[in-house]
Chain A
Amino acid sequence: DARVTQTPRHKVTEMGQEVTMRCQPILGHNTVFWYRQTMMQGLELLAYFRNRAPLDDSGMPKDRFSAEMPDATLATLKIQPSEPRDSAVYFCASGPEGGQPQHFGDGTRLSIL
């Protein structure tokens, strides 16, 4: 059963530390999405890649967040320096050409102390 794989599943770290989250999209999917979910804001789109090229990262705080796809099997989302307000669940999703339907990974639950 094809799945989006995210690591780590949980991360607790102190404010100011660098956080790197990884995502392996479903084989054959060429669109990758990063979302952040909080109780207050719901699901927010942070970044969108197609064929490894970033199409939209307008949802990301540019000063501290960065997203990359070094190859077709790996997408990364980095936060440096991290802040307590970054505490949330970060989901990666992948989709076929056209972007839909999207399938989600299990998420990374991030806590910044």
Chain B
Amino acid sequence: QKEVEQNSGPLSVPEGAIASLNCTYSDRVSQSFFWYRQYSGKSPELIMSIYSNGDKEDGRFTAQLNKASQYVSLLIRDSQPSDSATYLCAVNSISGGYNKLIFGAGTRLAVHP
């Protein structure tokens, strides 16, 4: 069973701090990795994608990928209360000759003033 594992949280951080969200995956041949943000009662929203080892920065968000360790993370700098949401890690998996995404259960982030 190909899996994506995330700590369910809640991860509680003070406003202005760095929030660090982690994800591990089991499929060694995965090539594409995504972070989605989901506010309560809303749909998942794509915020970051990463395809190669290392860091990718976009504004306050940095995605980090280490394929050897099968580990992907999301850092949120200068956390704001508006960042409070569930963050879903998604990893591509090739099954039956086609590509699909496997989602983790999500980590709930709470940023308190």
Q: A interface vs B, CB < 8 Å?
A: 33, 42-43, 45, 48, 50, 55-56, 91, 98-107
Q: B interface vs A, CB < 8 Å?
A: 32, 34, 36, 42-46, 49, 88, 92, 95-96, 98-101, 103-106
Q: Which 3 A-B pairs have the closest CB atoms?
A: A104-B43, A43-B103, A42-B105
Nearest residue in B to A45 (C-beta to C-beta)?
B100
Nearest residue in A to B34 (C-beta to C-beta)?
A101
Contacts A91-B44, A104-B43 given: A98-B99 contact, CB under 8 Å?
Answer: yes
A6–B43 Cα distance when bound, in Å, is 11
Cross-chain pair count, CB within 8 angstroms: 50
- The interface residues of chain A lying within 8 Å CB-to-CB of B99 are 98-100
- The interface residues of chain A lying within 8 Å CB-to-CB of B32 are 100-101
Contacts A42-B106, A56-B96 given: A100-B43 contact, CB under 8 Å?
Answer: no
- The interface residues of chain B lying within 8 Å CB-to-CB of A33 are 100-101
Nearest residue in A to B103 (C-beta to C-beta)?
A43
Nearest CB of chain B from residue A42's CB, rounded to whole Å: 5
Nearest residue in B to A99 (C-beta to C-beta)?
B99
**Most chain A Cβ neighbours within 10 Å, of B45, B99, B104:** B99
Pairwise interchain contact B100-A48, C-beta atoms closer than 8 A: yes
Q: What would be 7 A-B contacts, judged by CB atoms less than 8 Å apart? A: A91-B44, A99-B99, A100-B49, A100-B99, A100-B101, A106-B42, A106-B43
- The interface residues of chain A lying within 8 Å CB-to-CB of B104 are 42
Nearest CB of chain A from residue B9's CB, rounded to whole Å: 14
